[in-house]
């Protein structure tokens, strides 16, 4: 080749986070020593964040196919599920943990921006966002600052972009003191015949970079996300990108308008690893090559070289492949939306990603060798079960003394940071923007949005109890899937698929990797039982600081479909005199419960029983009850058990309740056990026979508990709480504790 090369050594490769073995593999692929530009590209594309090199072999065990699946996990930027009437739902969840730990506002904001681009780069219009957040102990000096910055970043980007945030979760645990988790999920809808593929095809077709100019922000962001956090991380603020939601809104509208023409061949957003990622992934998918001239890329900083341009993670940019001869049509659209549209390259037939600078070839790499599922490394890591799990699993909660006052125990749970109202958070999110939200803001177990132009609706939730996973990862991860399915079913929807964000510690440590391996197994078991696919997601390793690893946190993003969105169901009690009933059976499931953590300061014991069949029967029953209009409210049992679920339903409906029922279990189990496959429902007197028949047909246990009404939360002779006292603690304790 007539090229200008600056060969680099092993030491330089090591400084880029590559291993000696990976450097040898690069020499073999290229047949020579790499240039500095090439080494930078390999280091970004082979980072854990981009290549999934230490997880991909495990992820292949997930069930990915199904009758509704249009795009399987890994094929495109996000999964696609057919929801009928010529429409598909597109959804994905990703992490922005490390950037948010360093710069919480921009880290969280650009996490939202990145996941939105994954959705609309496939031709889908985003209609909802969710988030799953983990922060440290309330007493830790950074917790309030991190939460405040992250929430402001999420609300700023979503509100300005114009997409409602309809659901989410927030948990607090000391393991997240130095390493918060910020997982962002987006959901969109696309006409099946308007789906955009992220492939570069057709040799000679022009390649454009569209959107914002390229700067130095985010360089080596992918590598930054592929190492443990430390004091040195604070010096890596340039690795955190800067977001512009208004620019992204323009990019959305221009992209969807272009998709309605015959000019578009393919499109890929620029997230981790920036231009070099999109310029290698698109030809790899298309079986082609791509030639990039960095001198043609608009930049907002002077003296940027090819290395910086290729690795920049500046936000709000797309790589667009057009049909040759249609450039004018695309340029007119982008000009209309006031966006840069730089013709920077061309599709080739040599299967190489070639980088030109000043007319010289400064890099030339086989495109497929860079990408996940192609030539990127695939490592099978050792896993070893930690010895300390035996003691945690064998812990017996029955020897602990009961509370002296059940009222005080319930109040302590209602003001627990993992249960108390998140109103001060979700009120910062505009969950009604776009006028498609049917239910959000904590009024339902799942956010519910209407699909514009149809009667259909989508229900969605994010779920994970990391305490369960930290003691029994296989069971805990399966329970996370089932909780997500129960949540969308309680809202009236049929679960159709999941996306996951797998947040774990350093994978090079066998005891850490054990939790990942077992969690993948548990997720697979639950999805197979539910007959739903894993449509894609994200693995986030290296969630570990000097103080230790975070609790293993495989967050599950669940999506369900309502054929008629008017049938959606909330959690709030509705009418005086309605019957309150329990679907399912409460057992001795106090292990790893919120009650043990709050009242006894214990995180131990076996997680709740995993009964796939019982969950499946309940998950099939709940949408039927909603469709037939039998139930007026539905709320699954989770953290805090029956007593907390009853309280949340009363508080949501602003009406009390009187429960008087016989019991066989210990009082503490009846009130606070977190038994799965259970849901609390209300029905009118007239619908009680229909509820009994439906429960019998689905073989789901049913027990009458009491009635709605009054100004007290009353449960047998154990609990008698004024509703207003419960509300004051539930609504205000978390914000007061954080000083926000």
The stretch 420-442 carries a mean pLDDT of 85
Task: Tell me the pLDDT tens digit for each residue of 538-578.
Answer: 999 999 998 899 999 999 999 999 999 999 999 999 999 99
The pLDDT > 70 percentage for the chain reads 96
In contact, 3 and 361? CB cutoff 8 Å? yes
**pLDDT one-digit tens code per residue, 344-398:** 999 999 999 999 999 999 999 999 999 988 899 999 999 999 999 999 999 999 9
Residue 430 has phi, psi (to 5 degrees) of -85, 100
Q: Using CA atoms, how far apart are residues 535 and 269, in angstroms rounded to an integer?
A: 18
Q: Give the pLDDT confidence of 197-239 residue by residue, as tens digits.
A: 999 999 999 999 999 899 987 676 444 444 444 554 444 445 5
Q: Is-contact 263 205, C-beta < 8 A?
A: no
Name the residue with tokens 């959107």.
211
**Which positions ≥6 away from 364 have C-beta within 8 Å?**
1, 3, 38, 352, 353, 354, 355
Query: Which CATH architecture fits 381-420+569-740?
Result: Alpha-Beta Complex (3.90)
User: Rounded to the nearest 10 degrees, how much is the dihedral formed by the CA atoms of 213, 333, 280, 195?
Assistant: 140
For residues 691-717, average pLDDT? 98
Is residue 31 classed as helix, strand or coil in its secondary structure? coil
Q: Say yes or no to pLDDT of 435 above 70.
A: no
282 in Cβ contact with 334 (< 8 Å) = no
Instruction: Supply the angle between the helices 473-490 and 510-530 in degrees, to the nearest 10.
Output: 40
Mean pLDDT throughout 124-136?
A: 97
* Collapsed DSSP state (helix, strand, coil) of residue 380: coil
Buried b (16+ CB within 10 A) or exposed e, 149-174: bbbebbbbbbbbbebbbbbbbbbbbb
DSSP 42-77: HHHHTSHHHH-TTTHHHHTTS----TTEEE-TTTSS
**Could you report the per-residue pLDDT of 483-537, keeping only the tens digit for each?**
999 999 999 999 999 999 999 999 999 999 999 999 999 999 999 999 999 999 9
Minimal CA–CA distance to 26: which of 37, 44, 38? 38
Q: Return residue ranges of the chain for CATH 3.30.1330.10.
A: 65-195+425-568
User: Could you tell me where in the chain the CATH 3.90.650.10 domains are found?
Assistant: 1-63+197-378, 381-420+569-740
The token pair that represents 489 in the structure block: 């079913």
Helix (H, G, I), strand (E, B) or coil at 555: strand
Distance separating alpha carbons of residues 521 and 535, to the nearest angstrom = 16
Two tokens, residue 475: 């069971």
**Tokens of residue 206, six digits:** 């022009």
Domain 65-195+425-568 indexed as CATH 3.40.50.300: no
Phi first, then psi: what are they for 727, rounded to 5°? -65, -45
Is-contact 313 241, C-beta < 8 A? Answer: yes
Nearest to 368 by CA among 307, 291, 287, 428: 287
Secondary structure of residue 549 in the 3-state scheme: strand
Give residue 326's pLDDT band: very low, low, confident or very high (50, 70, 90). Answer: very high
φ, ψ dihedrals at 710, nearest 5°: 90, -170
Query: In the structure encoding, which two tokens stand for residue 3, read together?
Result: 């090229």
Task: Please classify residue 193 by burial: count the beta carbons closer than 10 Å to its beta carbon, then call 0-12 exposed, 13-18 middle and 19+ buried.
Answer: exposed
pLDDT, the chain, mean: 93
What φ, ψ does residue 212 adopt, rounded to 5°?
-75, 160
Q: What pLDDT, in 10s, does the model give residues 157-178?
A: 999 999 999 999 999 999 999 9
Catalytic residue of the set 16, 49, 517, 698: 49
| 228-245 pLDDT, tens digit each | 445 544 444 455 677 899
Q: Are 473 and 552 in contact (CB under 8 A)?
A: yes
- Cβ burial of 658 (10 Å; 0-12, 13-18, 19+) is middle
* pLDDT > 90: percent of the chain: 85
Looking at residue 229, what is its pLDDT? 47
Assess whether 96 carries a catalytic annotation. yes
**Catalytic status, residue 49:** yes
- Contact status, residue 597 vs residue 603, Cβ threshold 8 Å: yes
Q: How far apart are the first and last CA of the chain?
A: 61
* The pLDDT value given to residue 77: 77
| Beta carbons of 185 and 129 less than 8 angstroms apart | yes
d(CA 469, CA 58): 17
Q: What does DSSP say about strands 437-439 and 181-191: parallel, antiparallel, or unpaired? A: unpaired
- Residue 607 CB coordination number (10 Å): 25
pLDDT (0 to 100) of residue 220: 60
263-283 residue pLDDT tens: 999 999 987 788 999 999 999
- The predicted model gives 435-454 an average pLDDT of 88
Query: Rounded distance, CA 133 to CA 151, Å?
Result: 9
Return the CATH fold of 1-63+197-378.
Answer: Phosphoribosyl-aminoimidazole Synthetase; Chain A, domain 2 (3.90.650)
Beta bridge partners of 191: 87
Q: How confident is the model at residue 303 (pLDDT cuts 50, 70, 90)?
A: confident
Q: And the tokens for 340?
A: 């840069």
229, two tokens? 């956090």
Q: How far is CA 335 from the centre of its chain?
A: 34
Quick check: 315 and 366 in contact, CB under 8 A? no
Long-range CB contacts (within 8 A, 24+) of 66-72: 66/497, 66/531, 66/532, 66/533, 68/496, 68/497, 68/533, 69/497, 69/533, 69/535, 70/192, 70/195, 71/122, 71/195, 71/535, 72/533, 72/535
What is the model's pLDDT at position 338?
94
């Amino acid at each position: 080749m007539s090229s200008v090369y600056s060969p680099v050594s092993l030491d330089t490769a090591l400084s880029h986070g590559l291993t000696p073995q990976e450097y040898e593999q690069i020499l073999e692929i290229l047949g020579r020593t790499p240039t500095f530009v090439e080494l930078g590209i390999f280091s970004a594309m082979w980072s854990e964040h981009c290549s999934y090199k230490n997880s991909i072999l495990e992820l292949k065990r997930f069930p990915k196919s199904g009758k509704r699946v249009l795009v399987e996990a890994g094929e495109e930027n996000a999964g696609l599920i057919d929801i009928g009437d010529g429409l598909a739902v597109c959804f994905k969840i990703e992490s922005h943990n490390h950037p948010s730990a360093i710069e919480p506002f921009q880290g969280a904001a650009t996490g939202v921006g990145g996941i939105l681009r994954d959705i609309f780069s496939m031709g889908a219009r985003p209609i909802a966002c969710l988030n799953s957040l983990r922060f440290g102990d309330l007493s830790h000096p950074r917790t309030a600052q991190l939460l405040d910055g992250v929430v402001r970043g999420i609300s700023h980007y979503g509100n300005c972009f114009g997409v409602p945030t309809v659901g989410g979760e927030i948990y607090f645990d000391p393991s997240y003191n130095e390493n918060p988790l910020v997982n962002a999920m987006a959901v969109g809808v696309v006409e099946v015949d308007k789906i955009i593929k992220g492939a570069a095809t057709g040799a000679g077709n022009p390649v454009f970079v569209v959107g914002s100019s390229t700067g130095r922000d985010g360089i080596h962001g992918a590598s930054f996300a592929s190492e443990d956090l430390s004091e040195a991380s604070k010096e890596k603020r340039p690795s955190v990108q800067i977001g512009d939601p208004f620019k992204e809104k323009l990019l959305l509208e221009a992209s969807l308008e272009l998709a309605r023409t015959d000019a578009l061949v393919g499109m890929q957003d620029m997230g981790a690893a920036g231009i070099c990622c999109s310029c290698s992934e698109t030809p790899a998918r298309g079986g082609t090559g791509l030639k990039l001239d960095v001198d043609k890329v608009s930049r907002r900083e002077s003296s940027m070289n090819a290395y910086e341009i290729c690795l920049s993670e500046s936000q709000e940019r797309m790589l667009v492949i057009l049909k040759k001869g249609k450039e004018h049509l695309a340029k007119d659209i982008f000009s209309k939306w006031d966006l840069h549209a730089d013709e920077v390259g061309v599709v080739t037939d040599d299967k190489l990603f070639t980088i030109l600078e000043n007319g010289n070839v400064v890099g030339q790499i086989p495109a497929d060798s860079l990408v996940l599922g192609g030539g990127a490394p695939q490592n099978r890591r050792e896993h070893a079960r930690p010895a300390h799990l035996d003691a945690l699993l064998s812990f017996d909660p029955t020897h602990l003394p009961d509370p002296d006052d059940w009222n005080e125990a319930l109040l302590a749970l209602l003001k627990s940071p993992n249960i108390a109202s998140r109103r001060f958070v979700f009120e910062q999110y505009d969950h009604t923007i776009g006028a498609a939200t049917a239910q959000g803001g904590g009024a339902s177990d799942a956010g519910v949005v209407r699909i514009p132009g149809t009667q259909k609706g989508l229900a969605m939730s994010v779920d994970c109890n990391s305490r369960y996973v930290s003691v029994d990862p296989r069971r805990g991860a399966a329970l996370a899937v089932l909780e997500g399915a129960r949540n969308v079913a309680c809202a009236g929807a049929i679960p159709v698929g999941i996306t996951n964000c797998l947040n774990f510690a350093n994978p090079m440590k066998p005891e850490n990797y054990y939790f990942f391996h077992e969690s993948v197994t548990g997720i697979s078991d639950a999805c197979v039982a539910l007959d739903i696919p894993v449509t894609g997601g994200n693995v986030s390793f290296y969630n570990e600081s000097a103080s230790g690893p975070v609790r293993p946190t495989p967050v599950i993003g669940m999506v369900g479909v309502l054929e008629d969105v008017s049938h959606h169901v909330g959690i709030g009690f509705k009418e005086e005199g309605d019957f309150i009933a329990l679907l399912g059976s409460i057992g001795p499931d106090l292990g790893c419960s919120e009650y043990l953590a709050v009242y006894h300061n214990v995180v131990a014991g076996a997680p709740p029983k995993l009964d796939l069949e019982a969950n499946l029967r309940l998950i099939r029953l709940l949408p039927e009850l909603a469709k037939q209009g039998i139930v007026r409210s539905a709320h699954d049992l989770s953290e805090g058990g029956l007593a907390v679920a009853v309280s949340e339903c009363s508080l949501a409906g602003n009406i009390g309740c009187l429960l008087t029922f016989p019991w066989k279990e210990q009082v503490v189990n009846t009130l606070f056990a977190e038994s799965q496959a259970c849901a609390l429902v209300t029905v009118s007197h007239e619908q009680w026979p229909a509820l009994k028949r439906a429960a019998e047909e689905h073989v789901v246990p049913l027990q009458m508990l009491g009635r709605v009404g009054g100004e007290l939360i009353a449960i047998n002779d154990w609990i008698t709480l004024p509703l207003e006292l419960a509300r004051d603690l539930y609504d205000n304790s978390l914000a007061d504790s954080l000083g926000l």
